[in-house]
């Protein structure tokens, strides 16, 4: 049976028809790289027929979802937001997560646009165009990346779930900038089989939705490890707010929304502790100049770079090429530094229920200046990735919850925990969502 957190007021056929109509609107320009219109209609009709017969296909029966363009669909070449892969062999199987979604009754609407090869937190794409952030229709603002189309498909109401990937924040960043909920689980929960690699050390698959409950329903399908959980009682919980790095360069809107949210959490009886988290300074050493993503993406895509670098976004090429000259010794040392960083994080966060910080330190920036100026692009990209990437390096789990007020540009609250703390963190996220929405 479809979970209560999803729309059941209309039929799946009606929802697909509405989604396809919306996908043709100007607001949805650049959201999809491919629409599966006929297949989605057929899938929806099958779902409705099962309802009439008194049967359910599973927890996502008739739920409209979108897939990020780096996820395999059987019979198609996976393009990952680019063009250089054209002509490569098509996928022989659906990605593991796609098969699980289909088995649970989900209706796949199409594939969504993304930062090419998932290598940016901004969401700009020179091949397919950049989806406009629906939070501010009057101004062209970036949606965040790399799961840009995934977020916009949900923000526009075309889909209830956008399936994305998160290597350094690529689910949580667009969720934050578009005013949605995004969840990055502990990496080992969900298989990445059939997902084009950016960094095998850091890649995760997850979802962008409108609620914590919806993300949990999707996670139960993707992981096959349901987190049967209720909201925690905030009274008595302890939250760490790091004062190192993560609060630097925070813009006024984000700072005010974050401070307002912390006050409400304190008033609810939780303890909010400002924490000197000196180990966060190690993040820069882990990520630049030849961090996991440049090294591992160069290893995965060097043949494509050699034959067709001119067909790839030059900003992506520049970052991938940072991994070319890294020695095996340096790569192993990077892993050693990561293990030390994880140990330091575990020690620092011992005794806390979660760590809180802004998901990103800014509201969605305007698109045009970032298209024109590479220096501005890379500066914004570094700032967008800074906070969420720390959790990937930690192999932790994290949520981005919208915490802005009506009339403000979206702001995300990142709620994070250590590896394997997904169940407890889900209880905390439910409680915080209830508080923010009350």
Separation CA 399–CA 420 (nearest Å): 14
Of 150, 157, 174, 40, nearest to 106 by C-alpha is: 40
Query: Which residue is listed with tokens 């796949």?
Result: 108
The angle at the Cα of 149, spanning 133 to 221, to the nearest 5 degrees, equals 125
For the chain, first and last CA: distance in Å?
28
The catalytically annotated residue of 43, 115, 120, 146 is: 146
Cis preceding-peptide flag for 146 (omega within 30 of 0): yes
Give phi and psi for 188, each to the nearest 5: -70, -10
Is position 148 annotated as part of the catalytic site?
A: no
Of 164, 144, 266, nearest to 207 by C-alpha is: 164
Residues in the chain: 438
Separation CA 22–CA 37 (nearest Å): 12
Instruction: Give the list of residues 6+ apart from residue 133 with CB closer than 8 angstroms, or none.
Output: 140, 141, 142, 143, 144, 152, 155, 177, 178, 364
Is position 146 annotated as part of the catalytic site?
A: yes
The catalytically annotated residue of 43, 148, 170, 389 is: 170
The catalytically annotated residue of 43, 68, 115, 293 is: 68
Q: With contact defined as beta carbons under 8 Å apart, do 172 and 184 qualify?
A: yes
Q: With contact defined as beta carbons under 8 Å apart, do 148 and 178 qualify?
A: no
Q: Are strands 204-209 and 32-35 parallel, antiparallel or unpaired?
A: unpaired
Q: With contact defined as beta carbons under 8 Å apart, do 161 and 203 qualify?
A: no
Cis preceding-peptide flag for 313 (omega within 30 of 0): no
Give phi and psi for 47, each to the nearest 5: -60, -45
Is position 43 annotated as part of the catalytic site?
A: no
Q: Is 52 helix (H, G, I), strand (E, B) or coil?
A: helix
Q: With contact defined as beta carbons under 8 Å apart, do 400 and 412 qualify?
A: yes
Give phi and psi for 252, each to the nearest 5: -60, -45
List, by residue number, the catalytic residues: 68, 146, 170
């Amino acid at each position: 049976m479809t979970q209560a957190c999803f729309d059941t007021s209309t039929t799946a056929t009606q929802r697909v028809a509405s989604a396809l109509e919306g996908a043709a609107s100007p607001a949805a320009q650049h959201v999809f790289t491919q629409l599966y219109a006929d297949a989605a209609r057929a899938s929806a009709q099958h779902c409705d027929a099962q309802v009439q017969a008194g049967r359910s296909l599973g927890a996502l029966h008739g739920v409209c979802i979108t897939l990020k363009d780096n996820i395999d669909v059987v019979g198609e070449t996976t393009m990952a937001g680019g063009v250089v892969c054209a002509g490569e062999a098509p996928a022989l199987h659906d990605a593991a997560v796609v098969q699980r979604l289909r088995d649970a009754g989900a209706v796949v609407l199409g594939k969504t646009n993304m930062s090419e090869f998932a290598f940016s937190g901004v969401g700009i794409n020179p091949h397919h165009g950049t989806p406009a952030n629906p939070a501010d229709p009057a101004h062209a603002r970036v949606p965040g990346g790399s799961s840009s189309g995934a977020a916009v498909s949900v923000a526009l109401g075309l889909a209830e779930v956008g399936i994305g990937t998160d290597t350094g924040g690529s689910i949580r960043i667009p969720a934050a900038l578009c005013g949605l909920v995004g969840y990055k689980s502990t990496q080992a929960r969900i298989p990445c089989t059939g997902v084009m690699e950016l960094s095998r050390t850091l890649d995760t698959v997850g979802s962008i939705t409108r609620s914590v409950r919806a993300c949990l329903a999707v996670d139960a399908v993707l992981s096959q490890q349901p987190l049967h959980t209720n909201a925690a009682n905030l009274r008595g919980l302890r939250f760490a707010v790091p004062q190192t790095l993560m609060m630097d360069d925070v813009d006024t809107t984000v700072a005010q929304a974050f401070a307002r949210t912390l006050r409400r959490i304190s008033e609810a009886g939780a303890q909010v502790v400002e924490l000197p988290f000196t180990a966060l300074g190690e993040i820069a050493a882990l990520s630049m100049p030849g961090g996991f993503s440049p090294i591992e993406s160069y290893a995965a895509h060097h043949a494509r770079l050699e034959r067709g670098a001119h067909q790839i976004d030059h900003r992506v090429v520049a970052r991938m090429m940072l991994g070319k000259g890294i020695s095996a010794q340096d790569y192993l040392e990077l892993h050693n530094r990561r293990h030390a960083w994880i140990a330091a994080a575990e020690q620092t966060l011992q005794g806390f229920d979660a760590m809180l910080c802004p998901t990103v330190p800014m509201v969605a920036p305007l698109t045009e200046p970032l298209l024109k100026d590479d220096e501005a692009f890379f500066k914004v990209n570094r700032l967008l990735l800074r906070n969420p990437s720390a959790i990937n390096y930690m192999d932790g789990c994290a949520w981005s919850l919208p915490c802005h007020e009506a009339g403000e540009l979206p702001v995300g609250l990142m709620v994070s925990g250590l590896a394997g703390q997904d169940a407890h963190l889900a209880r905390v996220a439910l409680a915080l969502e209830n508080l923010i929405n009350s």
